Amino acid sequence: MLTPADKRTAFRKLHESGCFIIPNPFDVGSAVALQHLGFKALASTSAGFAWAIGKADNHITVDDACAHLAAICAAVDIPVNADFEDGFAHEPEKVGINVARAVKTGLAGLSIEDFTGDNAKPLFDRELAIDRIRAARKAIDADNSGVLLTGRCEAFLRGQKDLKLVIDRLTAYAEAGADCLYAPGIATPEEISAVVKAVHPKPVNLLVGAAGPSLKVAGDLGVRRISVGGALARMAWAGFMKASKEMAEQGTFTEFANGYPGGELNKMFS
């Protein structure tokens, strides 16, 4: 098995050129399956993990998150990036404490977002948001861990489709120490290109949760990595709910014919 240091070195190397997919498993089994399929790195999904333990998105605790991250990091031999939500705190000092704790799980990277959790005022004030990135950077650097920090602006996902605001925040997060920048919700070639240009030479993560550019098209636009958020978890739940509803509503079992072969799963996990 690779050490956490090895995984962090490999993760940074992936960000140097080209474009790669960093899919989002929601538990240990899905993480192992994605490694089996040849992906070079993984990213956790706060939503997918929350659903897996019977909670809504943004309702897991820092204890939940760190236990989950430690389990996934121990199960795979490739780098893992954490969706670390808002750092599970508002105050920069507490964000730093929680980030330092997350680093000890063995992860190779983590993201800190600027969503407050309050839809009435969805984004932290600009200076506070920047200070939170600085606190995360300081916590990561305290033991020279080499963990890659992603600064994430939630504006588009929270109904504030203001590209100037997004670019202003992402460039500020880059200056505050973010290694990678991420604005989930941007989708058009013009939006993507504008963000890539604004933060260059730092890499950009693109979220593709449904229809979106292919790996090649995103790479041509300058994107460095593509994540899929809770999309794989939603796909898994789609199959589960369809078969379960058939049983509950019709008393029949025909959807089971579409299940993935158990023998193949046993081979993959053996």
User: What span, in angstroms and rounded, lies between the C-alpha atoms of 123 and 160?
Assistant: 9
Residues sharing a CB contact under 8 Å with residue 106, sequence separation 6 or more, in sequence order: 4, 7, 69, 70, 73, 74, 80
Task: Count CB atoms within 10 A of the CB of residue 46.
Answer: 26
Strand pairing category for 180-182 and 225-227: unpaired
Give the pLDDT of residue 144.
94
The Cα–Cα gap between 169 and 113 comes to 11
Domain coverage including residue 120? 7-231
Question: How many domains, the chain?
Answer: 1
One-letter amino acid identity for 172? A
Give backbone dihedrals phi and psi of 230, rounded to 5 degrees, phi first: -90, 10
Is residue 97 within 8 Å of residue 112, measured between CB atoms?
Answer: no
Instruction: Give me the CATH number covering residue 182.
Output: 3.20.20.60
Mean pLDDT, range 123-143, rounded to an integer? 97
pLDDT band at 114 (very low <50, low <70, confident <90, very high): very high
pTM value is 0.96
Q: Note whether residue 191 is domain-resident.
A: yes
Residue 196 lies in a domain: yes
Give the pLDDT score at 124.
Answer: 98
Tell me if 1 is assigned to some domain. Answer: no
Which tokens belong to 3?
Answer: 């050490």
Q: What is the pLDDT of residue 263?
A: 97
Model confidence pLDDT, tens digit, residues 115-125: 999 999 999 99
Domain-located, residue 260: no
pLDDT value, residue 178 = 98
- pLDDT of 210 reads 84
Say if 241 falls within a structural domain. Answer: no
Residue 29 has a pLDDT of 98
In a domain, 213, yes or no: yes
Query: Residue 21: helix, strand or coil by DSSP?
Result: strand
pLDDT recorded at residue 248: 98
Answer yes or no: are the C-beta atoms of 86 and 117 closer than 8 Å.
yes
Establish if 198 belongs to a structural domain.
yes
Residue 158 lies in a domain: yes
Q: What is the rounded average pLDDT for all residues in the chain? A: 97
C-beta separation of 135 from 96 below 8 A = yes
